[in-house]
Structure 1
Amino acid sequence: MFETSFSPVTPESAETLLSAYPAFGSGDCNLTAVSLISRAAARKASFAVIEGIPVVRWHPTGEEAAYAVPACAEKMKPVLEHLSEEARLRCEALYITGVVDDLVANLTAHLPAVSFRLESSNDYWDYIYDREAFVTLAGRKLNGKRNFARRFRAAHPQATLEPLTPAHVPAVRDFLTGWYAEHDSNAGLTEECEAISIVLANLTALNVTGRVLTDAGRVLGFTYGAECAPGLFAVHIEKAARDVAGAYPVLAQEFAKSLPEHITELNREEDLGIPGLRKAKTDWAVKRFIRKCRICVDL
Structure 2
Amino acid sequence: MKKQNKTPAPQALVDEIRPGQSLELLKELHILTREGKLNQDSRRKLKQVYHLFGFIEKLLLELADQPGGILLADHGAGKSYLGFILYDLFFKAQKTGHIYGIETRPELVQKSRELADRLGFDRMSFLNLSVAESAQSDQLPERIDMVTALHACDTATDDAIAFGLQKHARFMVLVPCCQAEIARCLNQHKALSLARTPLAELWRHPLHTRELGSQITNVLRCLYLEASGYQVTVTELVGWEHSMKNELILARYTGQKKRAAAERLQAILQEFGLAQLNETRFRLSN
TM-score (norm 1): 0.31
Higher helix share: 2
Higher strand share: 1
Bigger relative contact order, structure 1 or 2 (CA pairs below 8 A, ≥6 apart): 1
TM-score (norm 2): 0.32
